[in-house]
Structure 1
Amino acid sequence: MSANADRDDRDLEADPASSTSGPVGVPVDAVCVGCGRTRVTRTSLEAMEIDPRVDLSDLDAADCTSFKHVCRSCWAITWRNPIAILTGLLESERGE
């Protein structure tokens, strides 16, 4: 199994721009339970059992549940554990 990359070594701006993060949803830094790799993944608030009307600036990863997503590292549909909601990335995409 691969080890988690240090967050300081990752380019969080480039990661969600890759085709592996998906085109829609909230960008979440999440750990794959299959391979242990941390990647930016886009998912819906509903998939993390969060009310879609929530103010994203008030949302914390600890409030979110695990969600299923395709992992491009281990090539399986696995559970991912959110460790950070990337609200700064959302703001930059919106031009705020």
Structure 2
Amino acid sequence: MSSGLEHADRDLAAELESPAAGQVGIPVDAICTGCGQIRVKRATLKTVRESSTTTDPTELEVPDLTSFKHVCHRCQTATWWNPVAVLSGLLEREGGE
């Protein structure tokens, strides 16, 4: 899990506030399989949860997650994204899902 709100030269909180992140779901850092861009995206538990039995999103780890479809503005299409981190710091800041 990643608990930071900033990563290298990226402002994760600002990325989460962007309409490109989506409106519903837990914040994850994910990589677009089309162009390789890494961005904060929102994904519902139903969409990304593979075999994890946990219902608490703050306890999720990347191996618990599966790829999900989301819009990539660089690719200009809906494409597959692979989660690389659960952004628990952003999730806790929002007070949950």
Q: Same fold (TM over 0.5)?
A: yes
1:8-27 correspondence to structure 2 within 5 Å: 8-27=8-27
Q: Which runs of 5+ in 2 are unaligned?
A: 1-6
Q: Which runs of 5+ in 1 are unaligned?
A: 1-6
Aligned length: 89
Larger mean CA deviation between 45-54 and 58-67 belongs to 45-54
For 1:48 and 1:57, how far apart are their aligned partners in 2? Answer: 14
CA 1:23–1:63 in structure 2 vs 1: closer, same or farther (change >3 Å)? same
Q: Is the 8 A contact 2:27 2:88 kept in 1?
A: yes
User: 1:11 is aligned with what amino acid?
Assistant: D
Q: Is the 8 A contact 1:46 1:52 kept in 2?
A: no
User: 2:62 is aligned with what amino acid?
Assistant: A
**Greater RCO structure (CA 8 Å; 6+ sep):** 2
For 2:45 and 2:53, how far apart are their aligned partners in 1? Answer: 6
Q: Is the 8 A contact 1:45 1:52 kept in 2?
A: no
CA 1:90–1:77 in structure 2 vs 1: closer, same or farther (change >3 Å)? same
User: 2:11 is aligned with what amino acid?
Assistant: D
For 2:30 and 2:46, how far apart are their aligned partners in 1? Answer: 16
Where does residue 49 of structure 1 map in the other structure? 49
- Scaled by the length of structure 2, what TM-score is found? 0.82
Deviation at 1:94, TM superposition (A): 2.1
**Which of structure 1's runs of 4+ aligned residues deviate more than 6 A?**
none
- Scaled by the length of structure 1, what TM-score is found? 0.83
For 2:19 and 2:53, how far apart are their aligned partners in 1? Answer: 24
% identical aligned pairs:
49
